[in-house]
Amino acid sequence: MSHPLRGRRPAAWVVAGLGLVVLAMTTLVGLEVAQQSRALVDRVDTTEDLVLANVRTLGQTQREVLRLQVLVVTGADGPTLRRQAAFVTQRTQESALDSHRATLGAADLIAVARQDAQAWRSDLLPDVRALAAVPPARRDPAATRQLLADLEVLEESYFDLVSLGEIYRREQAAQANADNEELVNSTQDLFMWLTGTFATAAVLLAAGGALMFRLHQQRSAAHERLSQLNEDLMWYARIVQATDSILFTIDNDGRFTWVNEAFERTMGYAYSDVTGKRPPDVLHGPATDPETVRALQEKLQDGEQFRCELANYTADGQEIWMAVDVSPVLDEEGAVTGFCAIQSDISERHEAELLLKQARLDAEASARAKAAFLATMSHEIRTPLNAVLGLTDLLLLTELNVEQRDYVETAQQSGQHLLALVNDILDISALEAGRMEYHDDPFSLAEVLDETTTMFVAQAERKGLDLRLDPDPGIPPLLRGDAVRVRQILVNVVGNALKFTETGSVRVSPRVTGRADGRCQLEVVVADTGIGVPKWRIPQLFRSFARGDVSSTRTYGGSGLGLAISRTLAEAMGGTIELDSELGHGTTVRITLDLAVVEEEQTAAVRSPDTLPHHGGLRVLVAEDDLVNQKVVKRMLQRLGVSPVIVANGQEAVDAVAEEVYDIILMDVQMPVMDGVRAVRLVRDLDPTPRPWVVALTANALSGDRERFMAAGMDDYVSKPMTIDSLAAALERASLQLPNALPGPEASEPRRS
């Protein structure tokens, strides 16, 4: 009889074997679940790192750049700009680390982050430091605008990186969710299987239960962390939707695949309205530049980034100018899967640029109109002045009694005053335009000072003032510079002193303040005992049209241009003018000049001004349409021994040259029938022998007129109103160039004064 337990041994072995199988399977399944759980934890950790990296690095970098833009726009001081620049430098360096390759998900994007960091260090940071070194009030607006534009490009690049990082994190979160669901399903199956086998393998079931409990804890913790990450991702998605910048994506066929809320708010199109459509079919209109659109499409076809400014239209037809930045979106293999576009409204800036352009055109038109007006007024005023001053000059050469001479001299002084006003207006216009001309010729400062004070002797005597010149024997006999401009400065200053002085004296005191390297530093002090001006009004006196007497009664006249012109002339010649005054106690003006000294061997003989030259051998043709000016020129030439031929326009001048030989032609410029410029060109075309010397005799005295007439073929230039001395000087210059001219008597006629 067999043992009752003997038949149970196979069963025991089966149970034992089954237990071992269950144990082995449980162990394998547990290991697999543990591995999947570890993978899930790693994925969750990776996703968490993505979020943290994005928040701490890319997002902070973008915000620091934005803060720097705000500081530049608001004109922050230098230390604040440098401190914020240091923050940007730190963030850009952190965003370019290798550890952020996981954040961006692609090597080319981390390369972009490194390029941005390099661009910041090498291009933008020096500009920020240069701007910080300048006080806010003195910063160059053009440099500030360029820096803001560069910062905007940098901020947009980091914004793109943040957007692409968010897209990558969204993909990682979705994959983590899928893995989590798969793990939950696997865990549930395992739990059910272990429950069925628990009765046969209590120990194995206990072990499996403990393992499941541990796995469940891990799964719960991972699920909680993943839920938090999903909330963070949703938060960043809402930020993207809430931004004022227009964002949208298109596929490789150029059709909309997504738009943000800013797009819908600004353009007036819902997402469903544009899905599947192309941007040109929805956004473009009459003002959209076809060339820009064509260039944009070519870049998209090549899968390249493109930036431009473009006119877009809203759903209700409103035109909006946009700054467009389109970048390709690449997959893991680097293939283009679509494009992401960022648009910013620049309508106000575009309108400002149009207004600025129109303002520039208006200013240029105004400048042309001003120049034309000045040229016309100069000609119209100088033409009758030529007759007035010319006839009074001729009249002073005749025998006059004391009363008649006083009348003539008064009339001539009034004409000279009117001419000075015209010259002041032309000078201030030339100074404003930077076209004032300066000569560099030898002259005697002592003679200029003597002439200036002599000019005002009669005025000083009428007012009972003591006008005194205190000469300095140390002043060199001859200096080099523009004697006319120096005289103009002295006349303005001395004239002002006499004008505003009723009792007392006016003293002109020149002195040498230094000599070095062939140059002489001079100071001319003009001191008066006049009414003076308040201290606070002194700076205003050097502005155009500013007067010392601003009362309603206007006791003292004047254009208010003298001091403004004088200071500008002095500064242009390396000097300056300073004014010190006390109300009721007089004014002191200090004129400083820096002029070259002319050595004795460089001096030349000068003709005595008390005699008039005789040019009886010259054959002179005068082309002048004004009858009074014809008489003036004719009488002046006759006093110089010349019997001229007079014609009334340019055509008659050309006909006269074709019939007779002339040494000199005095050619007016503005004449009926034919002007002087065309006439002289026709005369040159005739090529007469000998070639006549043509002198422009014109009231056109603006800067550049002399060069224009010389370029037209004229040889010399005399502006109206002319004097007998200026006409004689022109004839002398012509005689030096006309060796074949008929010789005339050398005797000179004495001048009467």
Segment 374-415, tens digit of pLDDT? 656 655 666 676 667 777 777 777 888 877 877 777 777 667
Top pLDDT among 725 and 519 is at 519
What pLDDT does 422 receive? 65
The answer to whether residue 541 sits within a structural domain is: yes
The pLDDT of residue 197 is: 66
Q: Is residue 390 part of a domain?
A: yes
**Residue in the block written with tokens 């005697």:** 444
Question: Distance between CA 306 and CA 294 in Å, rounded?
Answer: 12
Could you tell me the CATH number of the domain that includes residue 267? 3.30.450.20
Query: Average pLDDT, whole number, for the chain?
Result: 77
Whether residues 474 and 368 fall in one domain? no
What was the pLDDT predicted at 750?
A: 43
Alpha carbons 676 and 653: distance in angstroms, whole number: 9
Same domain, 531 and 566: yes
pLDDT at 621: 93
CA angle, residues 717, 719, 721, in degrees to nearest 5: 150
Q: Is the pLDDT of residue 246 over 60?
A: yes
CA dist., res. 196 & res. 208, Å (int):
12
In-domain check, residue 1 = no
pLDDT digits (tens, 9 = 90+) for 117-153: 888 888 888 988 888 888 888 888 888 888 888 888 8
Assigned domain for 477 exists: yes
Determine what percent of the chain is predicted with pLDDT higher than 90.
8
523 pLDDT tier (thresholds 50, 70, 90): very high
Q: Measured between alpha carbons, how far is 632 from 718 in angstroms, rounded to an integer?
A: 14
Across the range 480-505, mean pLDDT stands at 85
Tokens of 45: 């950790």
Residue that wins the pLDDT comparison between 649 and 555: 649
Give domain status of residue 432, yes or no: no
3-state secondary structure 425-449: HHHHHHHHHCCCCCCCEEECHHHHH
Task: Please indicate, yes or no, whether residues 392 and 272 belong to a single structural domain of this protein.
Answer: no
Six-digit token string for 612: 């008039």
> Model-level pTM?
0.36
What pLDDT is attached to residue 543? 56
Q: Residue 184: its pLDDT value, please?
A: 60
Cα 753 from chain centroid?
57
175-189, 356-370, 496-510 — which is least confidently predicted? Answer: 175-189
Confidence tier at 553 by pLDDT (50, 70, 90)? very low
pLDDT at 5 over 50: no
Is 748's pLDDT higher than 90?
Answer: no
- Supply the DSSP symbol for 263: H
Instruction: Give the C-alpha distances (Å, rounded to integers) separating 222 from 52, 134, 207, 266, 471.
Output: 17, 55, 23, 41, 103
543: DSSP letter: S
Q: H helices of 54-140, where?
A: 59-73, 78-95, 101-104, 107-119, 125-132
C-alpha pair distances (Å), 22 with each of 60, 193, 201:
54, 10, 8
Q: Which residue among 199, 223, 242 closes a domain?
A: 242
**Does 494 score more than 50 pLDDT?**
yes
> To the nearest 10°, the Cα dihedral for 672, 678, 683, 685?
-150
Residue 560 has pLDDT above 60, yes or no: no
Q: What is the pLDDT of residue 375?
A: 57
**pLDDT exceeds cutoff 50 at 744:** no
Which residues, in sequence order, are bridge partners of residue 323?
Answer: 309, 344
Say if residue 562 is in the same domain as residue 699.
no
Q: Are residues 444 and 409 in the same domain?
A: no
Residue 496's CB is within 10 A of a number of other CB atoms, namely 24
**Strand pairing of 246-250 and 256-259?**
antiparallel
Tell me what pLDDT residue 331 has.
85
String of DSSP letters for 191-217: HHHHHHTTTT-HHHHHHHHHHHHHHHH
**543 and 502, same structural domain?**
yes
Beta bridge partners of 203: none
- The parent domain of residue 619 ranges over 611-750
638 CA to centre of own chain: 57
What 3-state DSSP class applies to 124? helix
Contact 268, 314 (CB under 8 A): yes
Last residue of a domain, one of 602, 635, 667: 602
24-62 as b/e: b if 16+ CB within 10 A: ebbeebbeebeebbeebeebbeebbbbbebbeebbbbbb
Q: Please give the residue that has the higher pLDDT: either 349 or 56.
A: 349
For residues 400 and 549, membership in a common domain is answered with no
pLDDT in tens, 202-217: 676 677 677 778 888 8
Q: What are phi and psi of 701, to 5 degrees?
A: -125, 20
Q: Both 129 and 179 in a single domain?
A: yes
Cis peptide preceding 721, ω within 30 of 0 = yes
Q: Is 88 helix (H, G, I), strand (E, B) or coil?
A: helix
Give CA–CA dist 499/306, Å, rounded: 70
CA–CA gap between residue 438 and residue 591 (Å, rounded): 18
- Amino acid identity of residue 670, one-letter, is Q
C-alpha span between 638 and 620 (Å, rounded): 11
Classified as helix, coil or strand, 721 is coil
User: Are 723 and 642 found together in one domain?
Assistant: yes
93 in the same domain as 226: yes
As a whole number of angstroms, the distance between CA 289 and CA 310 comes to 7
Residue 421 lies inside a defined structural domain of this protein: no
Average pLDDT over residues 677-685: 90
340 and 360 inside one domain = no
Segment 430-448, tens digit of pLDDT: 555 555 555 678 888 888 8
pLDDT of residue 662: 92
The Cα 144–Cα 135 span in angstroms is 12
Q: Which pLDDT band holds residue 607 (cuts at 50, 70, 90)? A: very low
Residue in 679, 697, 692 with CA at minimum distance from that of residue 629: 697
Q: Is the pLDDT of residue 587 over 80?
A: yes
| Look-up of token digits 């982050």 | 113
Q: Closest Cα partner for 526 from 604, 593, 572, 469? A: 469
Q: What is the CATH number of the domain that holds 618?
A: 3.40.50.2300
Question: Do 659 and 716 lie in a common domain?
Answer: yes
Instruction: Name the domain boundary from 583, 602, 621.
Output: 602
Rounded to the nearest angstrom, the gap between the alpha carbon of residue 527 and the centroid of all alpha carbons in its chain is: 43
- What is the total count of domains within the chain? 5
**What pLDDT does 303 receive?**
85
pLDDT digits (tens, 9 = 90+) for 23-60: 676 677 667 666 766 666 666 566 555 545 554 577 77
pLDDT at 609 over 80: no
Is the residue at 2 inside a domain? no
pLDDT of residue 743: 43
